[in-house]
Amino acid sequence: MSDLKLVPPEQPTPFEQRLLDAVANEAPSAEQRLRVRAALGLPVVEPVPVPVAPVGRRPLLLKAAGGLVVVSAAVVALFLAVGRKQNSADQPAPAPALVAQAPTAPLPAPSAAPSIAPPEAEPSGGVGPLLDDRDNGASNKRSRKAAAADSGADLSEQLRLIDAARSAVAAGNASAASAALTSYRKRFPRGPFGQEAAVLQIEALDLQGNHAQAAAQARSFLARHPNSPHVSVVQRIAGR
């Protein structure tokens, strides 16, 4: 390959490989996917488990290391996984990054109408991959469980409440918007549309004439979400 001639691959040290593997396995959470789909007006499907390391091909650095390192690591990982099978439920596998790095199948063919898959149980250890939103630690584990619990009919209900609030704000009906948002927060405190709900609440407060409170909440929102797609709306209110 011409690019390999231009920049010959180099064999990483074990420490370099450890660092590369750690970030290679990152992926967005199921909640994040849902949130973007909802924002785009795409059908909101139930949360599905995060696919294992959808990172395309292996890094060139690793290619240079040849198959030996990979095969050895896989054998060791398999060995360890089998050895720890009994008590693996609460303990991460010792070398999961390399296991998760194994060449992955390509993404399934896209379709205009994605199939709805039932939520699956949490990985139960063994050779289960280190799922990437791990860098949020326990809170993400909780939110994954919460998302699974909130799935199905709940998602439709969440969307219904958010849409109701949005329509009420658009119609200038602040009290109806607040009622829908209060219901949303009560029923889905960790729902994936929390950011949308917060923005709508700020708009509802502003509609009610409670500009000071709306501006204070808007500033707080901007501090927490400086790159939110809702920034322009919230900034307008924060500046009042």
Partner 1 sequence: MRGEASKARLERMFHEHHDFIWRLLRRLGLSTGSADDAAQHVFLVAAERVDDIKLGSERSFLFGTALRVARSQSRSDRRWVLEEDMDFRRSEAGRPEELVDHQRAIELMGRILDGMTLDLRTVFVLTELEGMTMPEVAALVEIPVGTAASRLRRAREAFRATVAELESKLKSGLKT
- Please report, as ranges, the residues that interact with partner 1 according to CB under 8 A: 1-3, 6-7, 10, 13-24, 26-29, 32-33, 35-37, 39-42, 51, 54-61, 92, 96-97, 107, 110-114, 130, 133-137, 195, 225-229
The residue among 121, 122, 124, 125 whose CA lies nearest residue 77 is 125
Q: Smaller CB distance to partner 1: residue 107 or 121?
A: 107
Query: CA-to-CA distance for 178 and 128, rounded, in angstroms?
Result: 43
162 vs 174, beta carbon nearer partner 1: 162
CB of 73 to partner 1, least distance (A): 12
Contact 52, 167 (CB under 8 A): no
Minimum CB separation of residue 62 from partner 1 in Å reads 8
Closer by beta carbon to partner 1, 38 or else 174: 38
Q: How far is the CB of 3 from partner 1 (least distance, A)?
A: 3
Rank residues 40 and 209 by Cβ distance to partner 1 and give the closer one.
40
Cβ density class 229-240: b for 16+ within 10 Å, e for less: ebbebbeebbee
| Least distance between partner 1 and beta carbon 202 (Å) | 16
Reported residue count of the chain is 240
65 to 17, 93, 226, 235: CA distances (angstroms):
10, 23, 41, 51
